[in-house]
Amino acid sequence: MANIRVLSDDVHYTEEHILAKVQYETAHCKRTGDTIQVTPRRRWLEVRTARRPQRTGVMLVGWGGNNGTTLTAALLANRAGLRWETKEGERRADWLGSLTQCATLRVGSDDDGKDVWAPMSGVVPLLHPDDLEVDGWDVSSLDLAAAARRNRVLDVEVQRALAPQLRELRPRAAAFDCSFVAANQQERADNVLPGTRAQQVQRLREDIRDFKKAKSLERVVVLWTANTERFAEVRPGLNDTADNLLASIERNETEVSSSTLYAVAAILEGCTYINGSPQNTLVPGCLELAERHGTHVVGDDLKTGQTKLKSVLVDFLVSAGIKPTSIVSYNHLGNNDGKNLSAPHTFRSKEITKRNVVDDMVDSNPILYAPGEHPDHVVVIKYVPYVGDSKRAMDEYTGELMFGGRQTFVVHNTCEDSLLAAPLLLDLVVLAEFCTRVGFRPAGDDEYVPFHSVLALLSYLVKAPMVPRGTVVNSLFRQRACIENVLRACVGLGPESNMQLEHKLASPTV
Ligand SMILES: NC(=O)c1ccc[n+]([C@@H]2O[C@H](COP(=O)([O-])OP(=O)(O)OC[C@H]3O[C@@H](n4cnc5c(N)ncnc54)[C@H](O)[C@@H]3O)[C@@H](O)[C@H]2O)c1
Ligand SMILES: O=P([O-])([O-])O[C@@H]1[C@@H](O)[C@H](O)[C@@H](O)[C@H](O)[C@@H]1O
């Protein structure tokens, strides 16, 4: 696929960097009575992107799980160009569902006025999946071939072809506190670290160093794709500050979750930490620790199927002036994730992230909704072993039309949960690595400013985006546009406005 090269006085490609200059516009608003005063603020920004992706490895927490084994198999299969027979004919390994590997963005138009599109990975150098090393931890000691067989996600032909390599991959012993997950998860836990929380953090840090050294890595991303935990209590003296969190770990406080131990270990080793599950791993003390160490964190909860569709449908309805009044999201699934979510305290974590996704869109339209008014919104998840990873999502959306009309549409969405999640895990790692190579400064300043420790740019990939400040955006296309426009800024292209006035005015030469 083509890479783009921007020919502009505002873009310079040196051996090490892409140096770009772009005009950045915001608008300050002030409400006075029935009027909103809007003051545009335009300034020139200089963007510096290091061109060489770093030698990167990802350490998956929950490596032996459905998502972890599926991502690992995808990395191996794509690297090998694996082809296999199915009843529909030959298939070959691909990255379908990955934004960085299979999505494009419009970069302009050609002599005939036709749009020209480029792969996202062709705008700025991104880490290639073939170069990504993988390791991780799991409470189950199964090697990844045995785990893939247990997980029942991959075609048998694929499992057979990859078994020799998967068999060599064995998860490291895990930090695990079963009280934070469903009791039914204890039965697989034969690979658990002993000792206090402080000793476990120390061991996890040694694991990260060991992986980094063994693979000669420059960057390690720690990504939680283990079970959903219950929310941890956040309270002064426990985890409200970095020092209090570290002291609580030293005191072996039982309210510090296993996932927070991984996050602390990652941050102390200078790694990006990504929370692919809904629990509040990234407590305030964790966020302060990440800022102190200048590392990035991303959360919460992968956005893969039912919620992703919801963030599109509700955005479409509200932005079309149709008023969603009832949203009922039901799904059943039969994988281990579903088994773990069958406990009330773990389901509650998932319910929170699946329900909050419409808040910003509802709040954006006071014409439709009075202050504090929201659609009825219900989330139901049931564990039905027979369907395995092939989650069935059924949604009913009801909205109000003019003259008291009602519109109801029902969606049946059979997701293969892990085949949807694995490409997003790759995107999270690839974009997280990219974010460590970019800096911004007002034109003329000396210092480039990196992304904030809380990587809000990756909101597109999670259900409940953490942001350092400002409004949480859940609208999927606004989130995607943010990534697209940041990539464009790195090569001196302004934001995609979609105006294309050259095709809309009486004269194309305005
Ligand atoms: N489409 C999706 O699959 C999807 C979407 C959004 C979020 N998620 C979240 O991703 C996570 C993983 O999903 P999955 O389908 O792979 O689940 P899974 O149960 O198949 O995998 C989780 C793995 O984590 C291991 N584990 C549990 N606690 C651990 C610990 N403390 N340390 C190390 N390993 C531990 C388990 O043994 C298991 O192998 C879940 O929290 C799920 O809610 C999944
Ligand atoms: O991402 P999404 O499809 O909206 O939500 C999914 C839930 O519907 C499913 O029950 C759960 O097991 C997955 O982890 C995922 O969170």
Is the C-beta atom of 217 inside 6 A of ligand 2?
no
Give me the interface pTM, i.e. the ipTM: 0.98
- Residue 481: pLDDT band (50, 70, 90) is very high
What percent of the chain stands above pLDDT 70?
A: 100
pLDDT above 90 covers a percentage of the chain that reads: 96
pLDDT at 452 over 80: yes
Cα(67) to centroid(ligand 1), Å: 7
Q: Is residue 391 annotated as part of the catalytic site, yes or no?
A: yes
Residue 316 scores a pLDDT above 80: yes
User: If you average pLDDT over residues 385-410, what whole number do you get?
Assistant: 97
Residues 230 and 346 sit within 8 Å (Cβ to Cβ): yes
Q: What is the pLDDT of residue 1?
A: 65
Q: What is the pLDDT of residues 94-111, one digit of tens each?
A: 999 999 999 999 999 999
Read off the pLDDT of each residue in 473-480 and give the average, rounded to a whole number. Answer: 94
pTM of the complete model: 0.97
What are the C-alpha distances in Å from 257 to residues 41, 165, 193, 418? 44, 33, 14, 25
Mutate to test the pocket of ligand 1, among 151, 154, 225 (most ligand atoms within 8 A of CB): 225
Pick the residue whose CA is nearest to atom 18 on ligand 1: 65
Q: β-strands 272-275, 297-298: how paired?
A: parallel
List, for residues 243-271, the tens digit of each pLDDT value.
999 999 999 999 999 999 999 999 999 99
First and final CA of the chain: distance in angstroms? 33
Tell me what pLDDT residue 509 has: 80
Catalytic annotation, pick one of 135, 350, 360, 389:
350
pLDDT tens digit string along 349-393? 999 999 999 999 999 999 999 999 999 999 999 999 999 999 999
Give per-residue pLDDT as tens, 371-380.
Answer: 999 999 999 9
**Ligand 1 environment, Cβ below 6 A:** 61-62, 64-68, 137-140, 174-176, 188, 225-228, 258, 276-277, 301-302, 304, 335-337, 340, 417-418, 420-421
- Of 337, 350, 462, the residue with max ligand 1 atoms within 8 A of its CB, to mutate for a pocket test, comes to 337
At residue 354, the pLDDT reads 93
The residue-averaged pLDDT of 217-226 equals: 98
Question: Strand 390-400 vs strand 323-333: parallel, antiparallel, or unpaired?
Answer: antiparallel
| 196-202 contact pairs (CB < 8 A, 24+) | 196/252, 197/249, 197/252, 197/253, 197/256, 197/261, 198/249, 198/250, 198/252, 200/175, 200/258, 200/261, 201/175, 201/249, 201/261, 201/264, 201/265, 201/268
Question: What's the gap in Å between 274 CA and the centre of ligand 1?
Answer: 13
What gap in Å lies between CA 325 and CA 315, rounded to an integer? 13
